[in-house]
């Protein structure tokens, strides 16, 4: 296949992956107003805690093999990609059964540890066991730019989950149980498609070389991955414990609203990962910096716009009893841009397989977040969690920037991918602007005036914005 054909295929695939991710995020936001009105605040708080524990448990149960190690495996074992995918499925199947056995031996212990009823813990483990087949299947197809199957199945799952869950909640006496059971049941049925696809192409579920490579790559990353997820999820768990489940529900809606613009981040970063791998491999370093800076400006501007409408967004997403959550939205919105910067830096570390040192910055940020929450939540309430998360993400970005530089010095001295002063100036400017929005929430006319000014800037810079979006969708140079 020629370079032009490859570029066109990459652009088309990236566009569809972006559209699919955007639709998924939008439907996720659409169902929040329904869930917050069907479930009481304590019930929705428990639902949130379940989701948070699931994100944390998935790291231990699946070893998160569907992320960077999988991309590296697709490149390293390009002659046997189907075998590598099947082998990863076999590895996580083995670890999943071990964790399921640990739960069945002592269900009361795990129930007390997680603060969830034993049946919910079982659902949590089951969800973690069935999810990897989709992760491996979709990652392989993304790497090969086969967008149609991934887009189709993702849309089916995204639409089917609320379509089944909402009636189940509505007609059930135990609404929380109905929500969780329906969610896991839909996943189990839909994920049969990738499971059959992987098994039909290869049954190399055990390959010592593949297992050894994946474990060597990912085991040192487990503390880092856990720390990253803890940084994202522990706020809600700690708020539920220190402030009450109702406040965890309010914070979760604010957190979801603040991360609304993360669909831009997720859609583009998923496409940028294999693209950056290829550019580093081909030594085309100069093409990374312009895209990185433009991406940060685009996401920062979108997050700033979102925070200006925080009171209106919160009113749509939840009843008036949730309205005090608006003050947690600005720092959470700033985290979207910080997540983007973090992904840019850590991708370079993963490319050079510098997984051992990656964990230290992540662990430090997670521990700092827990300590700050223990200190500040009792003093300032749940809103403080948003600011501790933002501060810790900035620390995480700074740490991984230094680790990225270390990886470059070790493996490719002289390589320049990013203009660090420019990136940090962009990040800090948008952080300050976004957080400052909370001071003007009592003055709607000030917010609306800023919206008009921002609209004028967008109109004036429309050519640059259109060109930036186009370049990101096309991912030139692939």
Q: Which runs of E-coded beta strand occur in 75-143?
A: none
Total number of domains in the chain: 1
pLDDT at residue number 365: 86
* CA neighbor of 476 nearest in space, from 347, 287, 271: 287
Distance between CA atoms of 2 and 478, rounded to whole angstroms?
Answer: 11
Residue corresponding to tokens 């054909």: 5
**Tokens (6 digits) for 452:** 């008009």
Distance between CA atoms of 36 and 300, rounded to whole angstroms?
Answer: 28
pLDDT at residue number 432: 92
pLDDT at residue number 285: 76
What's the DSSP call for residue 413?
Answer: T
pLDDT at residue number 271: 65
Length of the chain: 478
Domain that holds residue 366: 3-474
pLDDT at residue number 327: 93
Distance between CA atoms of 268 and 7, rounded to whole angstroms?
Answer: 16
The answer to whether 200 and 83 have CB atoms below 8 angstroms apart is no
Burial 305-344 (b: 16+ CB within 10 A, else e): bbbbbbeebbeebbeeebebbbbbbbbbbbbbbbbbbbbb
The answer to whether 360 and 399 have CB atoms below 8 angstroms apart is yes
pLDDT at residue number 24: 64
pLDDT at residue number 477: 42
Quote the crossing angle between the two packed helices 462-474 and 288-308, to the nearest 10°. Answer: 120
pLDDT at residue number 465: 67
pLDDT at residue number 236: 87
Predicted TM-score (pTM) of this structure = 0.73
Average pLDDT per run of 10 along the chain, which is 478 residues long? 51 60 67 85 85 87 81 82 89 92 91 87 91 84 74 83 90 90 91 88 88 86 80 84 86 85 67 74 77 83 88 87 90 90 86 76 86 92 92 91 89 83 91 89 89 83 68 50
Q: List, in sequence order, the alpha helices (H) in 131-261.
A: 132-143, 147-171, 175-190, 192-201, 208-218, 222-242, 245-258
The answer to whether 258 and 335 have CB atoms below 8 angstroms apart is yes
* C-alpha distance from residue 174 to each of 14, 21, 40, 169 (Å): 41, 31, 11, 8
Give the angle 285-296-134 at the CA atoms, nearest 5°: 80
Full DSSP string of 203-227: -----HHHHHHHHHHHGGGHHHHHH
pLDDT at residue number 389: 92
Distance between CA atoms of 59 and 166, rounded to whole angstroms?
Answer: 28
Distance between CA atoms of 172 and 161, rounded to whole angstroms?
Answer: 16
**Tokens (6 digits) for 199:** 């098994």
Burial class (CB in 10 A: 0-12, 13-18, 19+), 172: middle
Distance between CA atoms of 369 and 452, rounded to whole angstroms?
Answer: 36
Distance between CA atoms of 71 and 347, rounded to whole angstroms?
Answer: 11
Three-class secondary structure of residue 67 per DSSP: coil
Instruction: For the chain, state the CA radius of gyration.
Output: 22
């Amino acid at each position: 296949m020629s370079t032009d054909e490859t570029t066109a295929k990459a652009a088309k695939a990236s566009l569809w992956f972006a559209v699919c991710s955007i639709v998924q995020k939008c439907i996720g936001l659409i169902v929040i107003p329904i869930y917050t009105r069907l479930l009481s605040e304590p019930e929705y708080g428990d639902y949130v805690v379940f989701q948070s524990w699931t994100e944390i448990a998935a790291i231990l149960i699946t070893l998160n093999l569907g992320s960077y190690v999988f991309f590296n495996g697709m490149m390293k074992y390009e002659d046997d990609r189907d075998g590598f995918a099947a082998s990863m499925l076999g590895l996580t199947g083995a670890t999943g059964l071990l964790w399921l056995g640990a739960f069945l031996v002592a269900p009361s212990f795990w129930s007390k540890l997680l603060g969830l009823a034993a049946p919910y813990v079982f659902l949590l483990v089951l969800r973690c066991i069935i999810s990897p087949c989709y992760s491996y299947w979709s990652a392989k197809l993304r790497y090969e730019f086969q967008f149609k199957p991934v887009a189709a199945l993702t849309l089916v799952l995204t639409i089917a989950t609320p379509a089944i869950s909402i009636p189940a909640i509505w007609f059930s006496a135990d609404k929380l149980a109905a929500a969780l059971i329906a969610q896991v049941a839909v996943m189990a049925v839909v994920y049969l498609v990738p499971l059959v696809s992987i098994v039909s192409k290869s049954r190399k579920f055990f390959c010592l070389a593949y297992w050894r490579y994946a474990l060597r790559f990912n085991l040192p990353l487990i503390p880092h991955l856990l720390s990253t997820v803890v940084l994202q999820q522990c706020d809600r768990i700690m708020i539920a414990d220190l402030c009450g489940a109702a406040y965890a529900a309010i914070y979760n809606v604010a957190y979801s609203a603040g991360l609304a613009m993360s669909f831009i981040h997720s859609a583009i970063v998923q496409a940028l990962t294999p693209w950056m791998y290829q550019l580093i491999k081909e030594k085309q370093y100069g093409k990374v910096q312009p895209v990185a800076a433009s991406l940060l400006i685009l996401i920062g501007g979108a997050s700033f716009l979102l925070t200006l409408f925080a009171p209106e967004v919160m009113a749509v997403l939840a009843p008036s009893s949730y309205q005090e959550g608006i003050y947690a939205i600005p720092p959470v919105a700033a985290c979207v841009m910080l997540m983007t910067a973090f992904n840019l830096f850590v991708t370079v570390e993963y490319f050079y397989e510098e997984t051992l040192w990656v964990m230290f910055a992540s662990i430090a940020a997670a521990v700092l977040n827990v300590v700050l929450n223990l200190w500040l939540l009792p003093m300032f309430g749940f809103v403080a969690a948003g600011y501790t998360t933002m501060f810790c993400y900035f620390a995480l970005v700074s740490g991984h920037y230094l680790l990225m530089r270390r990886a470059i010095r070790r493996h490719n001295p002289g390589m320049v991918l990013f203009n660090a002063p420019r990136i940090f100036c962009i990040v800090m400017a948008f952080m300050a602007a976004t957080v400052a929005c909370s001071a003007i929430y009592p003055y709607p006319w000030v917010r609306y005036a800023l919206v008009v000014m921002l609209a004028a800037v967008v109109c004036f810079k429309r050519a640059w914005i259109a060109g930036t979006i186009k370049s990101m969708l096309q991912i030139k140079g692939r």
